[in-house]
Amino acid sequence: MNMDMKNIFKYTLVTLAAASMLTACDLDLFPVGSLVYNPESVITNETDLTGFEAGVIAQFRGIAGGGVLDEPQDIMMDYFNALGDYGNNYGGVHRTDDSFSADDYDSRDNWRYPYLAIRHFNIVINGAQTVPDGLQAKAAIARGEAYVARAYAYLHMIRLFAKPYGSSSSTDLGLPIILKYDQTERPSRNTVKEVYDQIKSDLDSAAVLLAGVKGEVRAQKPTIDFVNAMYARYYLDTKQYAQAASAAEKVIGSAAGYKLAATAEEFAAEFVEDNGKEPILQFYGSLQEGGYGEHTYYANMAIDSEEGHGQYYRPYFIPTKKLAEAYGEGDLRNSWLTDGTVPIYENGSWYTSEFKVFKKYSGNPALRTTDLPNTRQMLKPITIAEIYLIAAEAYAGAGNSAKATECLNALQTARGAEATSASTANIQNEWYRETVGQGLRISCLKRWGLGYSGRAPQDGAASAGVVITQPNFIDKSMPANDYHFVWPVPKHELQVNPNLVQNEGYAAITIE
């Protein structure tokens, strides 16, 4: 294990010990005053600084996607149908019935993990202000990384737990803004506008501190290009279209040389080998040390040694008819769907070419010890493909249809898809096709003020008994005003912090 990885483990443990391994508002397990935290004495030498910076990267990587941090957001929407053998995994969020409540573990984890990471970011932001002489430049970089990581964490959560940015954002409830470690604090929820203002403030700080950190393809730590990519997300959410387009163009025109995959070989390098030119940030991971993401519910491959079928898929969810038919002939993204050469096992039956499985995350061969694909991929918080989509939507929103079409066509042409005009529908459809599996569908629909109508299954999937056809499965629709678009504040948070208020539509929690 190299020195950086040793420090990641050491200083992550130090931080979690300081934070008592609690969620954002869990303050009852330890008595007030039982832990002492002085930000001015956290970093006393270069080894401390190196370790705490490594901890920032480790914590950031831990909330950058994979599993519960991006799967439920898409499974909730119109991408996938649940199969009979899905075992109620993501059941509440998929059905969005009464079981999707303050008790839901997906909602809990998407609140808990980012706030645990924010604890570490806050300790470094505050603690690295005072360091021994000679460490100021390195401390500035560490603080810049922590600022942009905190912005990422808050943006992830505000997209889930609050209404979209709009005319009522000055009064709509957002998230508790926590900027320093204080075990006695029981924060109330700030407004949506205040949270987005904090995200902007964090990005502004990161932009200054990381100004000299040049972007590079597959950078393993935040760079100025990553900061600009986050600005593009922020400005798009807040509907500041000219600024969003400008931030996106800075990344598109970066000297780093990000490039859209445009051939089958480039596509394999990008989405299988983790060696493409699209990632603006790609966290380090390895078979020995972990750090990768997994999406097992989409493919869930296994080997049949009894009946001679060899490798097969046993997914919990398969694409809806809409997703299965989303890509035209020649579109490279067809490789994200199975072609019938590998069988599917479901509910005691074998299927071959009848139904398509989603395998965008087929797994990097370097992250496995057998020939069986395991969905492990390096974590890529933002890629240049999303930046082109942001640019297209932003230019369209600003009234520049020519530039919007140019950016949209750049992505479509690279993927081998039909080039279209940059109409609202075409831009939205391209978001649907390109970002499937990345957990962005819910934030897109909220930003556009849209819902969805039904999850029609692939032809024959319902009659064959492959997908579940009970209420709230294939017939599930969510109008734009459905309260489930705003996730419930987790029950535990409400129990330990009486200053928190539950979101509309969810049952109040009785505190005894």
pLDDT in tens, 292-307: 999 999 999 998 877 7
Q: With contact defined as beta carbons under 8 Å apart, do 369 and 287 qualify? A: yes
Residue 108 lies in a domain: yes
Q: Is residue 34 scored above 80 in pLDDT?
A: no
Residue 227 lies in a domain: no
Give the range among 28-37, 246-255, 411-420, 447-456 with minimum mean pLDDT.
28-37
Please give the residue that has the higher pLDDT: either 508 or 314: 314
Query: How confident is the model over 148-159, as a mean pLDDT?
Result: 98
Residue 370 lies in a domain: no
What pLDDT is stored for residue 305 in this prediction?
74
What pLDDT is stored for residue 37 in this prediction?
62
Residue 295 lies in a domain: no
**Average pLDDT of every residue of the chain:** 92
What pLDDT is stored for residue 512 in this prediction?
58
Q: What are the DSSP calls for 260-289, one per residue?
A: ---SHHHHHHHHTSS--S-BS-----BTTT
What pLDDT is stored for residue 17 in this prediction?
39
Residue 87 lies in a domain: yes
What pLDDT is stored for residue 185 in this prediction?
87
What pLDDT is stored for residue 340 in this prediction?
83
CA 399, 400, 406, 411 torsion-angle sign = negative
Query: How confident is the model over 20-37, as a mean pLDDT?
Result: 43
Residue 220 lies in a domain: no
Q: Is residue 405 scored above 60 in pLDDT?
A: yes
Element (H, E) at 312: strand 310-313
Q: Is residue 19 scored above 70 in pLDDT?
A: no
Residue 459 lies in a domain: no
Query: How confident is the model over 380-404, as a mean pLDDT?
Result: 98
What pLDDT is stored for residue 22 in this prediction?
37
Q: With contact defined as beta carbons under 8 Å apart, do 198 and 220 qualify? A: no
Tell me the C-alpha distance between 321 and 324, whole Å: 5
Residue 192 lies in a domain: yes
What pLDDT is stored for residue 392 in this prediction?
98
**Can you give the CATH number for the domain in which 190 is found?**
1.25.40.390
Element (H, E) at 311: strand 310-313
What pLDDT is stored for residue 339 in this prediction?
87
Residue among 283, 14, 4 nearest 124 (CA): 14
Tell me the C-alpha distance between 327 and 125, whole Å: 45
Q: With contact defined as beta carbons under 8 Å apart, do 124 and 7 qualify? A: no
Segment 37-93, tens digit of pLDDT: 676 678 999 999 999 999 999 999 999 999 999 999 999 999 999 999 999 999 999
| Residues spanned by the domain of 101 | 3-211+487-496
Cα atoms found within 13 Å of the Cα of residue 470, Cβ hemisphere only: 8
- The total of structural domains in the chain comes to 1
Segment 236-258, tens digit of pLDDT: 999 999 999 999 999 999 999 99
